[in-house]
């Protein structure tokens, strides 16, 4: 079966067509992503109202391109999957309403996809990872460990109690005037710097918890930068290196605890934009090796927001007979371990 996936929950307008074959394997037939990055750049962050308007302007064209690139007409897909939350509600409404309209006019089933579930199932799209596995989701909006038992069956083991990890990267970049999104800039600077010059705090590191906290670290970075201002290029690089060393250690130690809790034969899957960070990837690989676990980091284009992951989550649900009705409401908040993550069988 072939599924159209629509993603509009943040600042990427995305659509893709993914095929799930009889053996349950995925084939990405097209995957179109339009980043609104430049529209928000002047504001130093995503402006929800601008994001929603931009989705309205571009989504139809992105969907048409997804169909064209897959060499299909839209009425040849078997179902429509659209992100229904969590996220910026204006954008979610644009994508979900478009999905409903297509489903109704083409007479196809609709699957209302949880964006976090789409991230969680991406490792099955790329690597066919079997259930159960452990997921570390680290993006601009989320930092959490989740036990993925099956489609719709999640247990959250830990979350951030303040900033998300990507958000911490972005705030450090902003503080140092490095441009946005901050993660790649900080990583680039960190490569040039001395990670030992600044010893930044590792909040909660000694605690027996799978929660994260990054706001104290961010404050420490700000205070260090203020103390030595004006900053030379070397100062900036050293601060970035120190910050990245701190977060890589935090993530590594937490991953070790999570893998221990999981027990033997664990697979740790990383999702979200921060999965692109090579230092964090190396730290996680180190920890996975120690624990005898398998580490799966999907290709970057599928770690950041995209339509293929939404189409795939829709395909997984549809394969289990789970479809949604036209009354399905967009949800600004929709944790993976909430009661309404279960499979639904029509309305
Ligand atoms: O998953 P994503 O594309 O969007 C959502 O937040 O849903 O993640 C974006 C986040 C941003 O905070 C960005 O700075 C961060 O991922 N990021 C990185 C890197 N590339 C992107 N953080 C650290 N190192 C990177 N190389
Ligand atoms: Zn995301």
118 and 138 both lie in a single domain: no
- Which one of the ligands is nearest to 180 CA? 1
Query: What is the number of other CB atoms lying within 10 angstroms of the CB of residue 68?
Result: 12
Residue 140 in contact with ligand 1 by CB distance below 6 A: yes
224 and 270 both lie in a single domain: yes
284 and 313 both lie in a single domain: no
167 and 210 both lie in a single domain: yes
Cα 326 from Cα 163, distance rounded (Å):
35
Ligand 1 mean position, distance from CA 35 (Å) = 13
Q: What are the pLDDT digits (tens) for 107-159?
A: 999 999 999 999 999 999 999 999 999 999 999 999 999 999 999 999 999 99
- Which one of the ligands is nearest to 272 CA? 1
Q: How many domains does the chain have?
A: 2
Cα 293 from Cα 60, distance rounded (Å):
42
Angle, alpha carbons 48-277-82 (nearest 5°): 40
- Which one of the ligands is nearest to 184 CA? 1
263 and 142 both lie in a single domain: yes
Q: Look at residue 347 and tell me if it is in a domain.
A: no
Per DSSP, the three-state class of 347 is: coil
pLDDT of residue 204 exceeding 90, the answer is: no
Read off the pLDDT band of 339 (50, 70, 90). confident
151 and 177 both lie in a single domain: yes
Residue 272 in contact with ligand 1 by CB distance below 6 A: yes
Q: What are the pLDDT digits (tens) for 238-260?
A: 999 999 999 999 999 999 999 99
Cα 336 from Cα 347, distance rounded (Å):
22
User: By alpha-carbon position, which residue is closest to atom 16 of ligand 1?
Assistant: 273
Q: Which atom of ligand 1 is nearest to the CA of 173?
A: 14
Q: Which atom of ligand 1 is nearest to the CA of 278?
A: 26
Q: Look at residue 346 and tell me if it is in a domain.
A: no
Instruction: Give the CATH number of the domain where residue 91 resides.
Output: 3.30.420.40
Q: Which atom of ligand 1 is nearest to the CA of 180?
A: 14
Read off the pLDDT band of 206 (50, 70, 90). confident
* CA atoms within 13 Å, Cβ hemisphere of 56: 8
292 and 326 both lie in a single domain: no
Global confidence as pTM: 0.95
Substitution site in 274, 275, 283, 299 for ligand 1 pocket (most atoms within 8 Å of beta carbon): 274
Range of the domain at 156: 131-300
Q: Look at residue 245 and tell me if it is in a domain.
A: yes
Ligand 1 mean position, distance from CA 277 (Å) = 9
Q: What are the pLDDT digits (tens) for 162-200?
A: 999 999 999 999 999 998 889 999 999 999 999 999 999
Q: Residue 62 contacts by C-beta under 8 Å, 6 or more apart in sequence?
A: 13, 14, 15, 32, 34, 307
Q: Which atom of ligand 1 is nearest to the CA of 140?
A: 6
Q: What DSSP line would sit under 79-140, residue for residue?
A: EEEEEEESS-HHHHHHHHHHHHHHHHHHT--EEEEEHHHHHHHHHHHHH-PPSSEEEEEESS
Residue 139 in contact with ligand 1 by CB distance below 6 A: yes
């Amino acid at each position: 079966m072939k599924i159209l996936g629509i993603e509009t929950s943040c600042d990427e307008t995305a659509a893709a067509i993914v095929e799930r074959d009889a053996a349950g394997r995925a084939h990405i037939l097209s995957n179109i992503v339009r980043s609104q990055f430049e529209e928000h750049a002047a504001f130093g962050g995503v402006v929800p109202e601008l994001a929603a308007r931009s989705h309205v302007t571009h989504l139809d064209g992105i969907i048409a391109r997804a169909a064209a690139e897959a060499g299909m007409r839209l009425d040849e897909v078997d179902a429509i999957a659209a992100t229904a939350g969590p996220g910026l509600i204006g954008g979610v409404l644009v994508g979900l309403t478009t999905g409903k309209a297509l489903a109704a006019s083409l007479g196809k089933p609709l699957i209302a996809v949880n964006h976090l579930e789409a991230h969680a199932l991406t490792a099955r799209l790329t690597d066919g990872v079997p259930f159960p596995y452990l997921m570390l989701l680290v993006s601009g909006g989320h930092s959490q460990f989740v036990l993925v038992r099956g489609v719709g069956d999640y247990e959250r083991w830990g979350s951030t109690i303040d900033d998300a990890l990507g958000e911490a990267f972005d705030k450090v970049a902003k503080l140092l005037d490095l441009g946005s999104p901050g993660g790649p800039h900080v990583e680039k600077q960190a490569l040039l710097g001395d990670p030992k010059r600044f010893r930044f705090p590792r909040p909660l590191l000694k605690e027996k918890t799978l929660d994260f906290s990054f706001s104290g670290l961010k404050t420490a970075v700000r205070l260090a930068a203020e103390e030595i201002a004006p900053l030379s290029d070397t100062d900036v690089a050293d601060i970035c290196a120190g910050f990245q060393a701190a977060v890589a250690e935090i993530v590594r130690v937490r991953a070790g605890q999570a893998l221990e809790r999981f027990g033997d034969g664990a697979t740790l899957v990383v999702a979200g934009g921060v999965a692109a960070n090579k230092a964090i990837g190396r730290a996680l690989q180190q920890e996975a090796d120690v624990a005898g676990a398998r580490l799966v980091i999907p290709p970057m284009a599928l770690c950041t927001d995209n339509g293929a992951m939404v189409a795939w989550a829709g395909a997984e649900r549809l394969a289990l007979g789970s479809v949604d009705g036209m009354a399905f409401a967009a949800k600004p908040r929709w944790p993976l371990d909430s009661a309404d993550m279960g499979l639904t069988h029509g309305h």
